[in-house]
Amino acid sequence: MEWNPETLQHLSQCFLHTLSPAPEPRRRAEASLSEASLHPNYGLAVLRLVAEPTVDDQIRQAASVNFKNHLKARWAPNPSSDEIPIPDAEKDQIKGLIVSLMLSATPKIQGQLSEALVLIGKHDFPKLWPALLPELISSLGAASLAGDYASINGILGTANSIFKKFRYQYKTNDLLLDLKYCLDNFAAPLLEIFMKTANLIESAANSGGSAVVLKPLFDSQRLCCRIFYSLNFQELPEFFEDHMNEWMTEMKKYLTSSYPALESSADGLALVDGLRAAVCENINLYMEKNEEEFQVYLNDFALAVWQLLVNVSQVSSRDQLAVTAIKFLTTVSTSVHHNLFAAEGVIPQICQGIVIPNVRLREEDEELFEMNYIEFIRRDMEGSDLDTRRRIACELLKGIASNYKQQVTNLVSLQIQSLLSSFATNPVANWKDKDCAIYLVVSLAIKKAGGTSVSTDLVDVQSFFGTVIAPELQNQDVNGFPMLKAGALKFFTMFRNHIPKPMALQFFPDLIRFLRAESNVVHSYAASCIEKLLMVKDDGGRARYTSTDISPVLPQLMNNLFEALKVPESEENQYIMKCIMRVLGVADISFEIADPCIKGLTLILNKACENPKNPIFNHYLFESVAVLVKRACGKNASLISLFETSLFPSLQKILGEDVTEFFPYAFQLLAQLVELNNPPISPSYMHIFEILLSPDLWKKASNVPALVRLLQAFLYKAPHELNQGGRLQQVLVIFNKLVSARSTDEQGFYVLNTIIDSLEYNVIAPYIGGIWSALFTVLQTRQTGKFIKSLLIFMSLFLVKHGSQNLADTMNAVQGNIFQVILVQFWISNLKLITGVIETKLTAIASTRLLCESPALLDAAAVEHWGKMLDSIMTLLSRPEQDRVEEDPEMPDIAENTGYSATFVRLHNAGKREDDPLKDIKDPKEFLVTSLAGFSKLSPNRYPQIISQYLDPANQAELRRLCEFYNCPIV
């Protein structure tokens, strides 16, 4: 795309029309820009349009957004996408222009160009863009001389964004080299502008400078502090160590000084607090990573932060400052310098002046409780509230208690009693005191490592439950003082292991009542409490609460759970649905329970199909359906038809209306239903079977595990139908496609194993050659541990089903002597890597049969191979998996799921039952020694010598022990 007046006019018109409220011209303009973006120099042309002073500001701003998005898609496109990368020559021109254009742009455009610059820097800086940092430094120097803080802050904002990578990436040599380059070039200019701005702030503050003068200066200092954090994150750089005094002296001033010109307005106070919070982050970083070097400044900073916190008001706009300041004191409290808290009266002052004020409920908490229950629960119950005042204040107390436990325990216990006494004098007016007391007990509870159990020294749990919590739970008004009710339910949930079963059962009816509370938080907490109680295990792993315990209240419980899902904003309440799933997993499900439950769940499912929004809710919804089908039909087969009648329309809706988010769930539920049926399979299922064999359905990777699960169900339940109408050939085409791809090869083996397990040999015989060809082709190029283990399991299954001779003959028919090659190169050496109870048994027995049957091992020239095979079998059977198998290096990192389609999600309750193909053989160790003992009698005195030569001494000893145990000597 050439830059000329025509291009300028065309692009200007397009960007103008993208702002049109009318859809048609907007769509035409967007389509035209999309087509133009495919041409070289498009990005450069748009950047030049942004820089054109004669063009309307709105058009230039729209163009700057388009430019940023163009770079996001095309600068370094994902290899799997169809995006065409920007040519290198155009990239170089863009990099040559963008810094100067950004600095001269209006604030809104400057923001977009700064983001675009950071996008480029993410991929190219510093190695492919060595000119960037010198240009930024040069521009910073010029702007500093001119006192142009708009440009200074633009440069610092860009540098801050670029340097953030030093906070989040793992320490590697490449990262440290990049960091050194940035430090060598930018550390000194950063300190220079920081000190210059500090002097300007002091001068303006002393002379009564206005907010207009101070605002850009404070912005600048906050950015300098954020860059300081990034450049110091990995380790303490020499430059910063040498100049620590300058940095710390100025930073402390911002914690101890007031700036009335700014702090008199909300915006100005937020600006000052933003700088103070950045300072607190920096000193916290130094306490965590450079404690020794920072020690000389610690006392002054600790005192400054403490004084600051005492004076920070409770308004939510100051939360970030309060949280970062308390975090610093928490870090100090757990460090070797905790003696700062040892002085007389310090801990009581911190408790009274900092902790209690920040733990007490505020109006903002009440608003969040009422207006956004999901966010309230996320912070309060799920522990995602370390960045809230309430939680971080309790973390400070925990930190101090790590060295002054008795003092903190006594102090907080007295505080709790005082709060409860205050509540008792006037419950209506002082209900927040009781809430505060409950919150302190719950938040200061100590969680046992690796478990769900908690403990506390602050109160006697059973006594506190009986006197403080029980009255709230027994209160018949489920809607009165909802925050207090939520706190009581949270206490019950947290200390559920400590509440004796008879006492807890008394409150089950109350928990069920609270499911009808109007407050979304209260009925969510009630559901969560019931769900967690049903998971409590006593010594020995036995469930504390059983179907017998909930049977008397089950109809009311299920009714109230489904009613709670009708409350506005709780239609997709994941806590309610998780509780439904858990109850159905414990309850004794009769027809009277199953019928309304399946009808209720399918209604919810049909509604969710219209607009799948909440992945967690929908997962528990499908788990609830799966567990209901599993437990109800397992007890009463006559319910299968009821479930099919209810579920089939919903499953057809998912498949027919292309609700792709739900495809994997639908396939797993269908597999579960197929497995419940007895042959012959009904026509409605066979119609699904035909759809299942369509290659298009298998294109989406996240569908594959669920499709394989469904295909396996059909292969087991309809083996005769499989051999009709070319279906087996279609299944083998699917197998071939799966096994050929690294990401799905294991799924391909699942299909293949099911074919071998469910079909007679005469049915599969015509296809065996093709199967081996496909496997050998993959083996030539992909000898991964996962593939080889899957191949061994398949060959073992083939052997136990159809004999070792058929195994060797069919393999050798495809490629001469290939069986011997695979046996020696792969089977013997990889056998000890097999995992899983059934897989270990299967491969051990198949390998034992090879020892006693296979000419490839019984030949006189194969003595070494025979000995090594026996050694591998002994290792497999006698050593724990963790001793035999290293962590699989081929396992990819699990990426964070950002929605439905990222990965397949297995339904626990619709899982396939693993069948043992060798049920008649109970013990593979016994099978080994009895087979060897009988076999060795044919050649006396031959095998003990081979065993002593080729078996590991530990394996020899274990083999002797087994022979004695089973009274089967090898002669």
Question: From CA 228, how far away is CA 231, in angstroms rounded?
Answer: 5
Per DSSP, the chain holds a count of helices (H) and strands (E) of: 55, 2
Tokens matching residue 366: 């009440």
CA distance 544 to 550: 12
User: What crossing angle do the helices spanning 266-289 and 211-232 adopt, rounded to 10°?
Assistant: 20
- Residue 626 is encoded by which pair of tokens? 């799966």
722 versus 299: the higher-pLDDT residue is 299
Buried b (16+ CB within 10 A) or exposed e, 940-954: eeebeebbeebbeee
**What's the mean pLDDT in 206-217?**
93
C-alpha distances (whole Å) from 438 to each of 357, 466, 487, 693, 700 are 15, 13, 7, 58, 50
**3-class state of residue 815 by DSSP:** coil
Cα–Cα distances in angstroms (integers) from residue 907 to residues 225, 531, 663, in the given order: 48, 18, 12
What mean pLDDT comes out for the span 208-233? 96
**pLDDT tens digits for 796-835?**
999 999 999 999 999 999 999 999 999 999 999 999 999 9
Question: What pLDDT sits at residue 670?
Answer: 93
User: How far apart, in whole angstroms, are the C-alpha atoms of residue 511 and residue 456?
Assistant: 24
Q: Against a cut of 0.75, is the pTM above it?
A: yes
Contact present, 452 and 492 (Cβ < 8 Å)? no
Tell whether the torsion through CA atoms of 708, 889, 741 and 656 is positive or negative.
positive
Q: What pLDDT score was predicted for residue 168?
A: 83
pLDDT band for position 898 (50/70/90)? very low
Confidence of residue 383 (pLDDT cuts 50, 70, 90): low
Q: Write the burial class of residue 475 (CB in 10 Å: 0-12 exposed, 13-18 middle, 19+ buried).
A: middle
From the number of C-beta atoms within 10 Å of its C-beta (0-12, 13-18, 19+), residue 428 rates as: exposed
Q: 26 exposed, middle or buried (CB, 10 Å; 0-12, 13-18, 19+)?
A: middle
Write down the pLDDT at residue 902: 38
- pLDDT value, residue 452: 67
Q: 893 pLDDT exceeds 50?
A: no
**pLDDT tens, 843-879?**
999 999 999 988 888 888 888 999 999 999 999 999 8
How far apart CA 691 and CA 968 sit, in angstroms, is 54
Residues in the chain: 971
Beta pairing partners, 938: none
Q: Using one digit for the tens of pLDDT, what is the confidence trace for 479-529?
A: 999 999 999 999 999 999 999 999 999 999 999 999 999 999 999 999 999
Amino acid at 365: D
Average pLDDT of the residues in 745-758: 92
pLDDT score, position 681? 82
Residue 892 pLDDT greater than 70, yes or no: no
Reply yes or no on whether the pLDDT at 895 is more than 70.
no
- Contacts (Cβ under 8 Å, ≥6 apart) of 832: 872, 875, 876, 879, 884, 885
Please tell me what DSSP assigns to residue 783.
-
Res 18: pLDDT: 93
Across 11-25, 342-356, 463-477, the highest mean pLDDT is recorded for 463-477
Identify the burial level of 185 via C-beta atoms within 10 angstroms of its C-beta, where 0-12 means exposed, 13-18 middle and 19 or more buried.
middle
| pLDDT bucket at 539, cuts 50 / 70 / 90 | confident
pLDDT digits (tens, 9 = 90+) for 59-82: 999 999 999 999 999 999 877 667
Contacts of 715 (CB under 8 A, 6+ apart): 722, 731, 751, 754, 755, 758, 759
Asked if residue 547 has pLDDT above 90, the reply is yes
42-to-119, 528, 591 alpha-carbon distances in Å: 17, 55, 67
What span, in angstroms and rounded, lies between the C-alpha atoms of 519 and 195? 53
Is the pLDDT confidence value at 714 over 70? Answer: yes
Cα–Cα nearest to 294, from 259, 337, 257, 329: 337
Distances (CA, A) of 731 to 90, 279, 715: 50, 64, 9
605 strand-pairing partners = none
Q: Quick one: tokens of 700?
A: 């989406």
- Label residues 122-131 b or e (16+ Cβ within 10 Å = b): eebbbeebee
Give the tens place of pLDDT for each residue, 318-351: 889 999 999 999 999 999 988 888 888 999 999 9
Nearest-angstrom CA–CA distance, 195 and 78: 43
Question: What's the pLDDT score for residue 169?
Answer: 86
Evaluate whether 484 touches 521 at the Cβ level (below 8 Å). Answer: no
pLDDT grade, residue 679 (50/70/90)? confident
Q: Which of the 8 DSSP states describes residue 825?
A: I
Q: How many percent of the chain have pLDDT more than 90? A: 72
Spell out the residues 6+ positions from residue 613 whose beta carbon is closer than 8 angstroms to its own. 572
What digits encode the pLDDT tens for the residues 131-161?
Answer: 999 999 999 999 999 999 999 999 999 999 9
**How does residue 5 score in pLDDT terms, banded at 50, 70 and 90?**
confident
- pLDDT at res. 795: 96
Better-predicted residue by pLDDT, 79 or 219: 219
The kind and range of the H/E element at 454 are: strand 454-455
Q: Report the alpha-carbon distance of residue 822 to residue 829 in Å, rounded.
A: 10
The predicted structure's pLDDT at residue 891: 32
CA 775 – CA 822 distance, rounded (Å): 12
Please give the single-letter amino acid code of residue 879: R
pLDDT, residue 447, reads 81
Instruction: Render pLDDT for 753-809 as a digit per residue (tens, 0 to 9).
Output: 999 998 899 999 999 999 999 999 999 988 888 899 999 999 999 999 999 999 999
- Please tell me whether residue 833 adopts helix, strand or coil conformation: helix
β-bridge mates for residue 543, sequence order = 537
Per residue in 955-967, pLDDT tens? 999 999 999 999 9
DSSP code for 446: E
Q: How far apart are the C-alpha atoms of 228 and 239, rounded to whole Å?
A: 11
* Tokens describing residue 446: 């100590």
Neighbouring residues of 559: CB distance < 8 A, sequence distance ≥ 6:
596
| For residues 447-473, average pLDDT | 88
The Cα–Cα gap between 284 and 263 comes to 24
